[in-house]
Amino acid sequence: MGLPKIKFIIATAGLGLVAANIQKVPGLVITGTAVAGKIAIGQSKQIFSLEQAENSGITETDNPFAYKHVKAFYEYAGTNAELWIMLASDATLMSQMADKTGTIAKKLLNDAGGRIRVLGIVKKSTGTETSGNGLDADVDLAASKLQALGEEFTEKYFPFRGIISGNNFTGDSQALKDYATTDNNRVSIVMANTDGAKEASMGLTLGRLASIPVQRKLHRVKDGAVSDVSAYFTNGQSVETLSAAWDNIADKNYIFMRNFVGRAGFYFSSDPTLTKSTDDFKTLSNGFVMDKALILAYNVLVEELADEVPVTENGNIHPAIIKSWQSNVEKTIDENMTDNGELSAFRCYIDENQNVIQESGMEIELQLLPVGYSEYLTVKIGFTTAINQ
């Protein structure tokens, strides 16, 4: 049995698809160089501004690659946005950064004490990487490693979603792995940038995610373009050169950048995770919503752990206890999520027929009704001889 604990069983097919101020704080593991007296490889740093990053050795001179991404983060998210960062050596692969048996991303997450809700991982390309599935071959392994890390930390009530840089795209969309057939529902791959580099714009991506509420789509048009001038795939070619392949790339669950006819700027394509279309967590937005609800519910229910529970003559939970617990959880979720438009509705249900004397445990069901999205609009348009009222 182990220690008394609260166990969350998260359903992944509930949508039927064919108290604390929880913030979506980002973390970043990125290639860099140690700077004596300021920052070491593998050291966790919590920063709130570009100036603070510079004072920590992440400068355009000492750490140009990391500086570029941190600068992009603060240009979008603004000063005072919290960011946890760790530098890894240029020999460290992204799969090594993400490995749950290692001391890189795992250390950063632990040092942040559960604050990180989205973790970005990016390695500076050396130009000598082996290609596989249309990208740096290490990307695929990093995805499975990051999924395993995410699952481990969710069990510790430190849930997060992971973003991997899709380095070194070969330009062949047909060669890309189809991640709509996998089960890495806590991970996404971004394979686009704003400067033609071989790595994705991780700082910009994290800046966008940190700036929007949990239910908000990464690619919401009303939030504006993420680049006014240009966007590229990680092979250095502009995204327009592969416009005919956009649908194919999107169907394989990659995130890139796109534009719209008659509208200036470039936008993220979508927010898919690396999983099947029937998975409730096929999008980052659904994942962030669930993570926030999980933490809020945990903060309420942990107060009740191992407490005495009055029972009826039959040994069942007393109705007064049920009403109290249900009310406390629902009030917390509604105040922090439903009232803010992050959920459409929420319900906490406790079966009053549970015999806590015999079982020493209780099962609680939390039902989240998410918001809907206008992802695909079909418009019928044509001439008519009369306008119908």
Q: Which helix (H) or strand (E) holds 158?
A: none
Radius of gyration in angstroms for the set of CA atoms belonging to the chain, rounded to a whole number: 23
Instruction: Write out pLDDT tens, residues 96-123.
Output: 999 999 999 999 999 999 999 999 999 9
Cβ atoms of 272 and 247 closer than 8 Å: no
User: What is the Cα–Cα distance from 71 to 59, expressed in whole angstroms?
Assistant: 10
Q: In 3D, which of 368, 364, 374 has the Cα closest to residue 336? A: 368
Residue 308 is predicted with a pLDDT of 74
377 pLDDT exceeds 90?
no
Cβ atoms of 364 and 351 closer than 8 Å: no
H-helix segments, 159-270: 202-211, 246-251
Cβ atoms of 129 and 92 closer than 8 Å: no
Cβ atoms of 234 and 256 closer than 8 Å: no
Does residue 26 sit in helix, strand or coil?
strand
Residue 21 is predicted with a pLDDT of 36
DSSP 125: -
DSSP 316: B
Residue 246, CB-side half-sphere exposure with 13 Å CA sphere: 17
User: What is the Cα–Cα distance from 132 to 175, expressed in whole angstroms?
Assistant: 8
> Mean pLDDT lowest for which of 49-63, 225-239, 288-302?
288-302
Q: In 3D, which of 259, 182, 268, 191 has the Cα closest to residue 223? A: 268
> Model confidence at 318, in pLDDT bands (50, 70, 90)?
confident
Mean pLDDT of 144-167: 97
> Mean pLDDT lowest for which of 90-94, 203-207, 297-301?
297-301
Tracing tokens 């005919």 back to the chain, one arrives at: 244
Q: Which residues contact 364 (CB under 8 A, 6 or more apart)?
A: 301, 325, 329, 348, 349, 350
Selected residue with higher pLDDT from 366 and 64: 64
Instruction: Write out pLDDT tens, residues 13-47.
Output: 666 654 333 468 999 999 999 999 999 999 999 99
DSSP 372: P
CA dihedral 103, 157, 22, 146 (to 10 degrees): 40
User: What is the Cα–Cα distance from 190 to 197, expressed in whole angstroms?
Assistant: 13
309 pLDDT exceeds 80?
no
User: What is the Cα–Cα distance from 232 to 168, expressed in whole angstroms?
Assistant: 12
Global pTM reads 0.90
Quote the percentage of the chain above a pLDDT of 90.
Answer: 73
**Phi, psi at residue 270, to the nearest 5°?**
-175, -170
Residue 353 is predicted with a pLDDT of 83
User: What is the Cα–Cα distance from 272 to 219, expressed in whole angstroms?
Assistant: 10
* In the chain, where the domains are located: 25-288, 309-389
> Model confidence at 376, in pLDDT bands (50, 70, 90)?
low
Residue 67, CA distances (Å) to 62, 87, 200 in order: 9, 11, 14
- Give the bridge partners for 135, in sequence order: 132
223 pLDDT exceeds 50?
yes
Cβ atoms of 88 and 221 closer than 8 Å: no
Does residue 245 sit in helix, strand or coil?
helix
- Edge-to-edge strand order for the sheet containing 44-47? 44-47, 83-88, 25-31, 116-122, 161-165, 187-190
> Mean pLDDT lowest for which of 256-260, 331-335, 352-356, 358-362?
358-362
Bridge-based pairing of strands 135-136 and 131-132 is antiparallel
